[in-house]
Amino acid sequence: MKQNRLTVLMLGGARRVSMAELLIKSGQRLGYDVRILSYELMSQVPIAVVGQVIVGLKWSDPDVVADITRVAEEHSVDIILPFVDGAIEIAAKCREALPEVFIPVSDFDIAKQMFDKVEAAKAFRDKKIDIPKTYSVINAEMPAIAKPRHGSASRGIKVFYNLEDLMHLANLQDYLVQEYIENAEEYTVDCYVSQAGETLVAVPRLRIEVMGGEVTRTQTCRNEMLEEMSRRVIAAFGFIGPVTLQFLHDKKTGRYMLMEINPRLGGGVICSIYAGAPIPDYILSEALGVGVKPCNDWSNHTVMARYQKEAIFYNR
């Protein structure tokens, strides 16, 4: 770490300009100049507006950890943060290769388990966590929802109203099949877990509008049940750093059910941060070895509405 400078390497942070700006502002409050780098497959991505793009390898490339390690050493990186699902396991491996860099991610095995929906559902049941009823194909009740076991951003999800159609789904073994709850509400809970394992903040948000699996309109909401469930789930698995939990609410029965866990910063976390969750401060403070305290003083009913903004590149 250079004097009064922190260098943050985002993995797949191409569109996370708002988060980068919040990290920069947090650094200013703490008396540090935050420099943003982002590891991407191409140079012309929006994060270039606020930082430097490092063109690198695919997450599936066997040399990607070594390449990120090289980048971290060449650029004196202090913090590494994953922003897409494929980067989380890579970040966990980088933590072993770069012990001097602050990389607030959960262990590799936990991250791997969470990104296999079938294995994650088994783990949730083993921990006695309430989830939607999960079926083998033979005993599936209708309506049912089938989710690709390795998918993300709601891609490939299908709803079935008769068993015959479900049975004809190609590669059915590669799907998680669960009960489909009509008109259910979806909630996200944005959390940050200290390196000591304490959940410092948990902010529930109602997902009001979603496009392509990413929330475009959301609102914070005080919900003691969701906050407590999130803390219990985090403690049960031993997550570290930013954690995003997704819940379903069956309005008919009042049940809250865990759908999935993303052990990283979610796209909608910006809403929780503006509501008062000091997540950027937590990240920088822990990287600096500064003590952090729990926060429950965040604003209820804070609404975030997202819009598109262009980044222009001139090819000379």
Segment 134-138 mean pLDDT: 81
The predicted structure's pLDDT at residue 30: 96
Rounded Cα gap, residues 152 and 136, in angstroms = 21
CATH code at 112-116+182-305: 3.30.470.20
Segment 70-93 mean pLDDT: 97
Q: What is the pLDDT of residues 265-274, one digit of tens each?
A: 999 999 999 9
Per-residue pLDDT band at 165 (split at 50, 70, 90): confident
DSSP string, 70-117: HHHHHTT--EEEE-SHHHHHHHHHHHHH-TTSB-----HHHHHHHTSH
Q: What is the dihedral of CA 111, 254, 296, 233, to 10 degrees?
A: -30
Sheet with 52-55, strands from edge to edge, namely 52-55, 33-40, 5-11, 79-82
Q: What's the pTM?
A: 0.94
Q: What is the pLDDT of residues 206-234, one digit of tens each?
A: 999 999 888 999 999 999 999 999 999 99
* Residue 1 clears pLDDT 70, i.e. is over it: no
CATH code at 5-103: 3.40.50.20
Query: Rounded to the nearest 5 degrees, what angle is found at the Cα of 216, between the Cα atoms of 212 and 219?
Result: 135
On whether the CB atoms of residues 81 and 104 are closer than 8 A, the answer is yes
Segment 73-78 mean pLDDT: 98
Give the residue extent of every domain in the chain: 5-103, 112-116+182-305, 133-179
